[in-house]
Structure 1
Amino acid sequence: MSVTGFDALDLRRADGERPVAFGGELGPEQLLTAYRHGLFPLPAADDYASAYNEALYGGAVEAGEVALLPGAEDPYALAWWSPDPRPVLRPGGVRLPRRLARRLRRVAGGAGDGAGDGAGDADTAGAAEWFTTADTAFGDVLTACAEGRRPVWLTDELRRALMELSARGAAHSVEVWEGEELIGGVFGVAVWPVLSLDSMFHRRPDAARVAVADLGARFGAAGGRLLDAQWDGPYVRSLGAVPMTRSRYLAELAGAPASGTLPTGRLPVARLV
């Protein structure tokens, strides 16, 4: 089944456990339009991955159950997904582990200034060095999220499109720093009032969780109402994600856009508890 674009897809009948469509282009405009329609891309890493997509889903395409979008020489090199249900988080509802929350409360309460009982203070002092920024090192976060990931989905083409969306203010990152070292981060695409989380990374335990919580706090301060975690699983559930039906998700996506601007300045991690 060939369709002319994302607006021609009938997501009410699409299977939530396989791609909604294959093909199309991966430029910044197409990418932003896809997110506005409740879809996100999963490019194939190579010819083998593309052939695997065709072998796995070619029958559904021929039966008209999965759409083909125009503009691609190899349509199976680019899949578009819209899971049903969708794991989502409210901006202020991102959970941090209790051990980290206790650690940050000690920082906020003034511990970690050299007083105390040794081991606990060393742990707190490390936390005291953490701070966050937003949209300061978007390219570095992309690179870190791509490192060692298999299968490779952050292809060069997708990264170029995301960098362009970042330059336009439509894609955002949060960076977690320990001193001058980037130790964690997250990035995603905002189609207000929803921000879709694409990927995260950590180089210290819990740094990715801190990045998501920080992005949620900043997005909420700007008037955003929903974080979309895209793929369900134990990790996003541990962050506080709950499943939302696709129909309700699309209704949220169509809500009145927020008018705020994502705060980008340097902020202490301890404020999150």
Structure 2
Amino acid sequence: MTIYLPELNPYDLQFPEPSEALEDPNGLLAMGGDLSPERLLAAYNNGIFPWFSLGDPILWWSPSPRAIFIPNQFRPAKSLKKFFRKSGYRVSINRATADVIRLCGELRPDEETWLDESMQRAYTQLATLGFCHSVEVWENEVLIGGLYGIQMGQVFCGESMFSKKTNASKIALWKFCEHFHQHDGKLIDCQILNPHTESLGAIEITRPEYLKLLDHLKTQNVSQACYQPQWLTEGRDK
């Protein structure tokens, strides 16, 4: 099957309207451009994100339905709460963002090659500019899990997570949901529903619903302390 895609103009940051995205494959919108901070932020502002395999051109997506978490509705399983109380894991925010991005790329299966070195550099640069943030889970002084994503006002656009020890990524998400809600965060975008995010309580909404929420919430601010480097917990459940 031949697919015809708009190719982005390298000299401006315009994207096609998300409503023009293909149904098959779901959400494929455009190709080309670059991974500059300006283009990435323009994409996220419009409900679009990059996702492509090693050796392919840059591909841009806006799927429907869209998978999201509502932070104040996240309910950790009793077994996860019990595990965390006994684990001694500690959770932080923005204390090792470059390491989280790198490990999200290195620890993916061989067939999932989208988070290559160019993508890692792009998100690390966004972190340096203050737009990309991470949550880290530690066992003693060892980084064992985490997640990262892009801030858009009261929306957090989750990009990837990793886990080297049992439940580490689940704990990262749980504690971030609590923290984000406490600092006026309203929505966490996780792009496409998969078995892992579904098991954690992600739900699906239509593209128009997501874009309407994004259009409003990206103009609203979380509290200033939300993304300051800090410990979210010292390993004890509250």
| TM-score band w.r.t. shorter chain | 0.7 to 0.9
Corresponding position of 2:138: 177
Q: CA separation in 2, counterparts of 1:80 and 1:254?
A: 19
Question: Contact between 2:154 and 2:221, CA under 8 Å: does it hold in 1?
Answer: yes
Corresponding position of 1:73: none
Shift of 1:2: 5.0
Matches within 5 A, 1:121-132: 124=86, 127=87, 129-132=88-91
Corresponding position of 2:51: 42
Q: CA separation in 2, counterparts of 1:151 and 1:131?
A: 28
Question: Does residue 191 of structure 2 align to residue 225 of structure 1?
Answer: no
Corresponding position of 2:3: none
For residues 259 and 151 of structure 1, do their structure 2 counterparts lie closer, same or farther at Cα, with a shift above 3 Å needed?
closer
Q: CA separation in 2, counterparts of 1:270 and 1:39?
A: 37
Question: Contact between 1:141 and 1:185, CA under 8 Å: does it hold in 2?
Answer: yes
Pick one of 77, 81, 98 that aligns with 1:101. 81
Matches within 5 A, 1:3-14: 4=9, 7-14=14-21
Amino acid at match of 1:88: I
Question: Contact between 1:87 and 1:241, CA under 8 Å: does it hold in 2?
Answer: yes
Corresponding position of 1:249: 210
Q: TM-score, normalised by structure 1?
A: 0.75
Question: Does residue 62 of structure 2 align to residue 82 of structure 1?
Answer: yes
Q: CA separation in 2, counterparts of 1:130 and 1:189?
A: 24
Q: CA separation in 1, counterparts of 2:232 and 2:43?
A: 32
Amino acid at match of 1:10: E
Aligned length: 222
Shift of 1:141: 0.6
Corresponding position of 1:114: none
Q: CA separation in 1, counterparts of 2:14 and 2:140?
A: 46
Q: CA separation in 1, counterparts of 2:133 and 2:7?
A: 33
Corresponding position of 1:201: 162
User: 5+ residue gaps in structure 1?
Assistant: 51-76, 108-123
Higher helix share: 1
Identity of aligned residues (%): 32
Instruction: Mark the structure with the bigger radius of gyration.
Output: 1
Question: Does residue 88 of structure 2 align to residue 133 of structure 1?
Answer: no
Q: CA separation in 1, counterparts of 2:141 and 2:82?
A: 24
CA shift digits 1:181-230 (9 cap, x unpaired): 11110001111121111110111111100111122222222222100111
Question: Does residue 38 of structure 2 align to residue 29 of structure 1?
Answer: yes
For residues 270 and 99 of structure 1, do their structure 2 counterparts lie closer, same or farther at Cα, with a shift above 3 Å needed?
same
Question: Contact between 2:90 and 2:139, CA under 8 Å: does it hold in 1?
Answer: yes
Question: Does residue 236 of structure 2 align to residue 270 of structure 1?
Answer: yes
Q: CA separation in 2, counterparts of 1:8 and 1:180?
A: 43
Q: CA separation in 2, counterparts of 1:169 and 1:156?
A: 20
> Runs of 4+ in structure 1 displaced over 3 angstroms?
1-8
Q: TM-score, normalised by structure 2?
A: 0.86
Shift of 1:103: 3.7
Q: CA separation in 2, counterparts of 1:23 and 1:13?
A: 16
